[in-house]
Amino acid sequence: MNVTLIGAGNMGRGIGYRLMAGGHAVTLIDSDQEAAAKLAAELKGVAKKGATVQTAVLDTAVLGDVVILAVWYTAGKQIVEQLGKKLAGKTVVDISNPLNATYDGLGISADTSWPEELAKVAPTGTNFVKAFNTTFAGTLVAGNAVGQTLDVFIAGDDVAAKKAVSQLVSDGGLTPVDVGAVQRARQLEGLGLLGITMQGPLNLNWSSGWRLVH
């Protein structure tokens, strides 16, 4: 699958490792082109199953079928606005948790979620999917949390879009869990917040993960 990964930070690195493990063709974009080039070189070193990675500039990039916003949530909105009509028909994955300034709560209303807010500034036909917001960067690089397979909770309204994201997740050695419509992203963002706030008090060192046991 052709994937555009926007963001060469910690989460971009973690998701990049899973995309490389799954054999996908990745175009990596970051406003810091040096950071993008450095991460691309690292990802090439772990590529499997014919996976490829290249870098590009946002304004001129040819977008893949799936666009992953591995950036801070407000930056994601700016990117959606900047790309505009290029996103029509694309599957756009929002991985963010819209935290407040003190990182102890969400900075948006309880009656919405960040993919729902992104949809308001995106062209008609853009399919937003929430995923990866309850996983931490280090566990994504490792592909597991303390030896256990990571669950990736997925919310979205478009069946085909969720199927594509689920395929990326499973190809990367993780377990996709479809939790329903995009409105379920509201609960996923709450779950992401809870996981973040637990790290310090429980000394979890960002190595934990949420898993559905059944």
CATH code, 11: 3.40.50.720
DSSP H/E element including 199: none
Q: Please indicate, yes or no, if residue 14 is contained in any of the structural domains.
A: yes
Note the pLDDT of residue 7.
98
Record the tokens describing residue 28, joined without a space.
């990596």
Choose among 94, 90, 51, 104: nearest CA to 73.
94
The count of domains in the chain is 1
Given a contact cutoff of 8 angstroms between Cβ atoms, the answer to whether 95 and 133 are in contact is yes
Q: Tell me what the mean pLDDT of segment 60-79 comes to.
A: 97
The pLDDT tens digits of the residues spanning 192-214 come to 999 999 999 999 999 999 999 98
**CA dihedral for 138, 141, 145, 146, sign (positive or negative):** negative
Q: Please indicate, yes or no, if residue 78 is contained in any of the structural domains.
A: yes
Q: Tell me what the mean pLDDT of segment 126-152 comes to.
A: 97
Q: What percent of the chain has pLDDT over 70?
A: 100
Note the pLDDT of residue 88.
97
Q: Tell me what the mean pLDDT of segment 82-94 comes to.
A: 97
Note the pLDDT of residue 143.
97
DSSP H/E element including 93: strand 91-94
Confidence band (pLDDT; 50, 70, 90) for 167?
Answer: very high
The pLDDT tens digits of the residues spanning 43-67 come to 999 999 999 999 999 999 999 999 9
Q: Please indicate, yes or no, if residue 143 is contained in any of the structural domains.
A: yes
Mean of the per-residue pLDDT values for the chain? Answer: 97
Given a contact cutoff of 8 angstroms between Cβ atoms, the answer to whether 185 and 130 are in contact is yes
Q: Tell me what the mean pLDDT of segment 125-139 comes to.
A: 98
Note the pLDDT of residue 154.
98
**Residue 184 DSSP code:** G
Q: Please indicate, yes or no, if residue 44 is contained in any of the structural domains.
A: yes
Choose among 37, 38, 45: nearest CA to 20.
45
How do beta strands 144-145 and 148-149 pair?
Answer: antiparallel
Q: Please indicate, yes or no, if residue 213 is contained in any of the structural domains.
A: no
Note the pLDDT of residue 127.
98
Confidence band (pLDDT; 50, 70, 90) for 164?
Answer: very high
The domain in which residue 13 lies consists of 2-198
Q: Please indicate, yes or no, if residue 207 is contained in any of the structural domains.
A: no
Note the pLDDT of residue 190.
98
